[in-house]
Structure 1
């Protein structure tokens, strides 16, 4: 399978660095020199793109404008967009998040970081597409689900359960990514005790899944479950996800300041983005080992809360 990436930058040297860094990792790079050219390439539908690397400051059409067009188009909205920018202030970050940016790269950046972030974005996109396929496999009756309890242990089971829970909600595609993120977080960080720093090192060495499988078979972890309770009430849906871990300082990861700090890293943004884009509210109890997702059934529009 050819993995196409769209690289958009008005500087030839930047396009050359992107192509040289990623071509040797098996990616096929399609290049555009400004937003208008990039939009024309997308509209031709000649390539399926797994990620877009986008410069922010460009002539004709800047990165923010193009990003908004991408995220408002049904056929492109899931493609992760990696912003290249020298603008790293909180307001600049907020503008990018509001427009739908998935990752940030500050110029100048190392080739190793570029490769790691692109690989992470592509993995996320592939997982999301596989999960979305399950949304349309005869699970429409799940919208009548009123209450359900589920126990899971592995990432595989998380990816099986997420489409089921999403299909029981009014807007399945909106909540799917967020549910996957919270379930994975409960397994990796909660039950398996993989710390933020450990995940960084494992991810950078492409050993995260190997470590997850190893810990799932160890005596101190293989009896732990993530317990999920789905409840539909008159005005809202609540999904409670409880792991058997020690918890974490969840407030640090739900603030715009935390998002700004982690925007240039390969992980650490998940629960912030889940709350912002997928749910009407997300909070934690029991020192962070219990996540409570709220989906408002009475809201006229599915606008996520913004944590300022």
Structure 2
């Protein structure tokens, strides 16, 4: 029998939906503004004030100039290399570490886990980290943005907690049949942990896609710049000279603004397209990895 809701519950629901709707609009409008501005005529956009709900004189000039910039395509290629190889190696190393720390009877398990957790709060600092990269010949190399960051402590702990929720009876049955630990990990643990692994792909992927600091610190060859460094040059350093050649000095500022918006969209759309495919696993995977049953 359906329970009749009280007036207070109805009022709360109305307020809740109204509040969340307003909050959603506040969060979505900046994205909508950038998207609409990137398709607007640069001269009309310069003199426009107030809210922007639709393109001002539909124009694709900004996108044409963005894709004519060879560094954008080069940055895309470098970022995709770091993303694909990095996420693949991150999942392998994090899964191996999480499986090791999730098994019972492992020698020195607690001290090792405490050392792992210790790294969440204390580190050697940026300068020693950079010197290590230099001594390992990882500076000015894309591998310097992959190898040192293969395991994130927080992700390792979440994945370890998820692996611990797998019934021991399955592991013991596989061991009785003569399965090795690698076989158990690949044939039992990983297939039962697809949801949390999808969350790990999302976590590592977003982290790699958005990272720029260490790339700016260790990469000197412009041909190795990832996309975020190119984006930083355009937005922070206001460098659009490579895309405004042949444009009059009076129009450079106007077209430069449109180019910035178009560059933001070019750098943001790919990672936004990934979310719908991983969203269904996100809540389930996070809860499984965060709460031990």
**TM-score normalized with structure 2 length:** 0.29
Q: Which has the higher strand share?
A: 1
RCO greater where, 1 or 2, for CA within 8 Å and sep 6 or more?
2
Structure having the higher Rg: 2
Larger relative helix fraction: 2
